[in-house]
Amino acid sequence: MPNPSKITCVEDFRRLAERRVPRMFYDYADSGSWTEGTYRSNEADFHKLKFRQRVAVDIEKRTHRSSMIGIDVAMPVAIAPTGLTGMQHADGEILGAKAAEKFGIPFTLSTMSICSIEDVAAHTHKPFWFQLYVMRDRDFIERLINRAKAANCSALVLTLDLQVLGQRHKDIKNGLSTPPRPTLANLINLVTKPNWCLGMLGTKRRSFGNIVGHAKGVGDLSSLSSWTAEQFDPALSWKDIEWIKKCWGGKLILKGIMDAEDARLAVDSGADALIVSNHGGRQLDGAPSSISALPAIAHAVGKEIEVWMDGGIRSGQDVLKAISLGAKGTMIGRPFLYSLGAMGEAGVTRCLQMIANELDITMGFCGHTDIHNIDRSILLNGDIFDRP
C-alpha cells in the first residue's frame, strides 16, 4: 500500500480508488446523470475563478478554524452524506466518521448508508449528523428520526432534490446493487479487487443498514429493491418540512437549494442552514454548477440563514473560493469517497490534511490570516458568476 504522505492531491486518490474498488461502486461515485454536463461543470467552474496574490503581508499566524451551525470546526468543511459508502470500503461509514471526528469536522451519515445509525454511534464519541430522504412511509421516517435522536445526532440534513431519480447511465449499465449480484461480469471484476473482497468478507455490513430490518416488509435484498423504487416521495412539499422540523426538534439543514426563490423559502421554513447543491451532478443534468449558483443565493438570504455549498470541491483552494463567494461552510463527497476507497480511514485522514494545508497556504498567498475575513476581494474576477 502506498505511503499516505506520498499522496499529494485528490486526483491521486481517485486513480487509486479506480484500481481498488469494484467497477459498479467506483462508477457510482465517479459519475453524473445523463450527459454528465453538470457533473463536469461543478469542477470546471471552480477553475474559472482566479486569485489575487498579495505579498509583503504578515501571514505568520494563520487560522482556518470556523463554525458551522454553532459547532466549532477545524476548517469550514463537513463530510457530505453519500449513499453506499460502505461499498467503497468495508465499514466505510464507520471509518469516515472516525477520521472526521479525529480531525475535528462534522460527518454526515446518509439514509442510504451501508452501516446503520447505530453502527456509527457505537464507534464514535462525538455527535454526527444524519441525512434524511423523505419516503412515502411517514411512520418509517418518524422512526428513523427517533433513531437519529437516540444516537445523539446533532443535526438533521434533509435532502430535497431526490423526489425522483435522475437517469444515471453508468449505474443502469452496471446493474448497480448491494451486495453485487453474482453475474459473470461482476465475478470477473471482483477477482481483480482482492483487498476489497477480503474486507467485505470480514464484515457483516453489506446492505442498507438503516432500512433492512427496520422498514416494514423489508427483510432481504429483493424486497428492498422494490421498496426503494416505490418509496421516494414526489409529493414532498414545504409543509412536510414543517412536520419534519417538529418531529426532529433540533438543528435542521436543507440540502439541494439551487434557486434564490427556494433559498428564501428555506429561510421562511426556519431551517438553520441551506446547502447549495445539485446532488453532485447526479440529478438534473443541465442545471448550473453549484459554485456558479452560490453568489445569487448568498445575496438573496444575507445573514438570515447559514449558506453552505457542495459539488466540485477537489482542494482547499476550492473551499476558499466557495467561502469568498458567500459560503459559511462547504461539504465534500467525492474526495471523501475516493480517499476512502483508496486507503480506508488513513486515506480519509490524509485527504482532510491535504485540503486543510491547501486552504491554509492559499490564504497566506492571498494575504490573509483568518478565514473569517475572506470575501470576494481575494479574487480577480469575483463577479464572474454575477454576469448575465
386 in any annotated domain:
no
114 within 8 A of 93, measured Cβ to Cβ? yes
* Catalytic entry in 123, 279, 299, 368: 279
Count other Cβ atoms within 10 Å, centred on residue 172. Answer: 9
Tell me the pLDDT tens digit for each residue of 299-348. Answer: 999 999 999 999 999 999 999 999 999 999 999 999 999 999 999 999 99
Using DSSP, how many helices (H) and how many strands (E) does the chain show?
A: 15, 10
**Which residues are documented as binding site for glyoxylate?**
28, 133, 168, 279, 282
183 in any annotated domain:
yes
Q: What is the pLDDT of residue 388?
A: 65
Is 64 an annotated catalytic residue?
Answer: no
387 in any annotated domain:
no
Burial class (CB in 10 A: 0-12, 13-18, 19+), 138: middle
Q: What is the CATH number of the domain that holds 181?
A: 3.20.20.70
Q: What is the pLDDT of residue 147?
A: 98
pTM comes to: 0.96
388 in any annotated domain:
no
Residue 108 to residues 290, 329, 367, 383, Cα–Cα distance (Å): 19, 14, 33, 32
**Kind plus residue range of the DSSP H or E element containing 323:** helix 316-324
The residue among 48, 13, 9 whose CA lies nearest residue 321 is 48
Identity of the residue numbered 159: T
Q: Tell me the three cell numbers of residue 40.
A: 463536469
As for how many domains the chain has, the answer is 1
The residue among 77, 11, 12 whose CA lies nearest residue 43 is 11
**Which residues are documented as binding site?**
28, 81-83, 110, 131, 133, 159, 168, 255, 277, 279, 282, 310-314, 333-334
383 in any annotated domain:
no
62 in any annotated domain:
yes
- Mark the ranges of the chain whose per-residue pLDDT is less than 50: none
Range of the domain at 205: 4-378
Q: What is the pLDDT of residue 69?
A: 98
Tell me the pLDDT tens digit for each residue of 235-251. Answer: 999 999 999 999 999 99
385 in any annotated domain:
no
Q: Tell me the three cell numbers of residue 107.
A: 460527518
**Which residues are documented as binding site for FMN?**
81-83, 110, 131, 159, 255, 277, 310-314, 333-334
Burial class (CB in 10 A: 0-12, 13-18, 19+), 194: exposed
